[in-house]
Amino acid sequence: MSATRQARALVISALIASLALTGVYLAAGGASYVPAKTQDPCKHRPWRNPQGIEEIVEQFSFSALDGAACELGVSRERLARALATPRSRERFMQRYGIDDTELARALRAGLVRAVDDAEAAGALSPLLAGPLRETVRRVPADQAIELIHDARALLDNVQRFLEPARGLLEQFLPGLSP
């Protein structure tokens, strides 16, 4: 084989090997990865199956996280990790330049949104939503975090408050009925 043909064969072999390998990797899904996107916390997320205390407590937490995250301009997931411990909260506030007042305001806004969403989903009677909304607008930051983590106490208190009117409970709080 002449030197010219050898040279051509060498370059063509290199080209075929390169195209074959990249083609195989492409076919195996090499370009298909798209990072899973988290949802925009400012967009309303409909409550799924708001029946039973566990479901309501969880959906309430998520709505509150969404509302607070929307106020702070972060994702719900980032805020959930940030509120896990006092240390993680400190780190989060430092990283995003948020002070105590801003955080407290955002958390309260989140709780108000949770009450709104619960009412809209039919898990909370409009008669109770009003007073609850007023209550969560005044809670301090630490208590707001507790409520986001577990709103069971708040909803239990509502239940105890309504104990004398047990007959009306099902009508006002259909999701909390035993």
Partner 1 sequence: MSSVPRPRVAALALAVGLVLADSSIVVLALPQIYRDLDTSVAGVTWVLVSFNLVMALVAVPAAHLARRVGPGRATAVGLAVFAGAGIACGLSSELSTLIAARCVQALGGAAAVTAVLELLPTTVGSERRAVTIWAIAGATGAALGPAVGGLLTELVSWQSIFLVQAPLALVAGVPVLAVARHEAATGVLATELRRTGRPHLLANVALAMVSAAIAAALFLLVLLLIEGWRLTPIGAAVVVSVTPLAALLGARLEPEAVSARARAAAGAILISGGLGALALLPKAEVALTLPPQLLVGIGLSLVLSALTETALSGRAPQAIHGGWTISARHAGVAIGLIALTPLFTSDIAQQRRDAVDAGTAVVLDSRVSPLLKLDLSRRIDERLESERGRVPTIGPAFEPLPEDPADRASVLRLRSELQDQLDRGATHAFSPSFGLGALLGLLALVPIGLARRVDL
Binding site for partner 1 (CB under 8 A): 3, 6-8, 10-11, 13-15, 17-19, 21-22, 25-26, 28-33, 35-39, 54, 57-58, 61-62, 75-78, 80-82, 84-85, 88, 91, 149-150
Least distance from partner 1 to the Cβ atom of residue 5, Å: 10
CA gap 33, 167 in Å, rounded: 55
Least distance from partner 1 to the Cβ atom of residue 91, Å: 7
* Shorter beta-carbon distance to partner 1: residue 82 or 158: 82
* Shorter beta-carbon distance to partner 1: residue 37 or 160: 37
| 136 Cβ contact partners less than 8 Å away, ≥ 6 residues apart | 108, 111, 112, 114, 115, 144, 147, 154
Q: Is 52 helix (H, G, I), strand (E, B) or coil?
A: coil
* Shorter beta-carbon distance to partner 1: residue 14 or 168: 14
| 100 Cβ contact partners less than 8 Å away, ≥ 6 residues apart | 93, 141
* Shorter beta-carbon distance to partner 1: residue 134 or 150: 150
- Which one, of 38, 57, 39, lies nearest residue 117 by Cα? 57
Least distance from partner 1 to the Cβ atom of residue 114, Å: 13
